[in-house]
Amino acid sequence: MKKLLSRKRGNEIIGRFPRARVLVVGDVMVDHFIWGRVSRISPEAPVPVVEVDKENLLLGGSANVANNICGLGGQVFITGVIGADAMGDRILSEFRHRGIDTKGVVRERERPTTMKTRIVAQGQQVVRFDRESRRPVSRASTGKVLRYVGSLCGKVGAVVISDYNKGMIGAGLLDGVRKILAGSAAVVCVDPKQNDFSLYRGFDVITPNHHEAQRAVGDAMAAAADLVRIGNEIIDRHGFRALLITRGEDGMSLFEKDGRIVHTPFPTLAKEVFDVTGAGDTVIGTFALCMASGASFREAAVLANAAAGIVVGKRGTATVTPEELRKAL
């Protein structure tokens, strides 16, 4: 890790965060957590009875990516689609509270705001239920999103496409983003959920987890050699400048188009407190912010790995501060 990024260089990149600007495009949602305890089984059915202690409504999906960038001190802009409902109102309120511009958030009356509800008892998730519509957003909404992207072309250093496969990210939107950003210096980073990575061709960086990378090539990953083979195949097939595969508690692997491969081990302490909720959002948010701050792919990967190591030690959807990231160096 020291060879890839010195403490001095890491602090230099972090110090640039307040001047860096990142646009997030993707599926905006709410993460709803219900926390409680289980002490008995229901007499009505063989299911646990959760005695609720508290609940939280947090920014999720692409909204969590934006929240992570904001938490690190970066300037963030977001565009996506929400419903004309109470949860949509809540998201807009949370954005305004954080000073995040809401002009790019589009509301559709015909769809609900996506919300994932997780019931957690004694630190273990008991069940999750989702309120959502996965049908594609309307052409009118896509047009509004693309106009907002166009208004920021040349004004941001990085763009995140946060795809949760909830209807926001489709071929039409991606083609529009490509045309708008053609010739732009902004680095485009994609967090994919669809198995066909050809949808994302033409963008700079893609950050799948190891399961998503396997599905993208239709092959299983049984050993380290398989990881290298799969990584190289994705780069060769789709022409990304870089591929960052997240591997849970095993860390991350960065593949660059010039053939360089770097494996960053996960921080040892993080393995003991592993809650992956929202960790992928932290990774791509930190990576994109680093790129907008002048970091190389390898430097951004090291800092994103460190940020993930911090966030998995926090319960639920969480963010990282610049001070925590500096301490991790």
Which of the residues are catalytic?
A: 281
Pairing status of strand 261-264 against strand 252-256? antiparallel
Buried (b) or exposed (e) across 249-275, using 16+ Cβ within 10 A?
A: ebbbbbbbeeeeebebebbeebbeeeb
Q: Which residues pair with 57 in a beta bridge?
A: 32
The DSSP symbol for 52 reads E
214 contacts 221 by C-beta, under 8 angstroms: yes
Q: Which residues pair with 34 in a beta bridge?
A: 55, 119
Pairwise CA distance, residues 256 & 238, whole Å? 12
Pairwise CA distance, residues 119 & 85, whole Å? 22
Q: How far is CA 29 from CA 179, 203, 252, 310, 322, in A?
A: 27, 24, 26, 23, 25
Structure tokens at 328: 């991790």
Q: Which residues pair with 40 in a beta bridge?
A: 49
> Half-sphere exposure of 22 toward its Cβ, with a 13 Å CA cutoff?
37
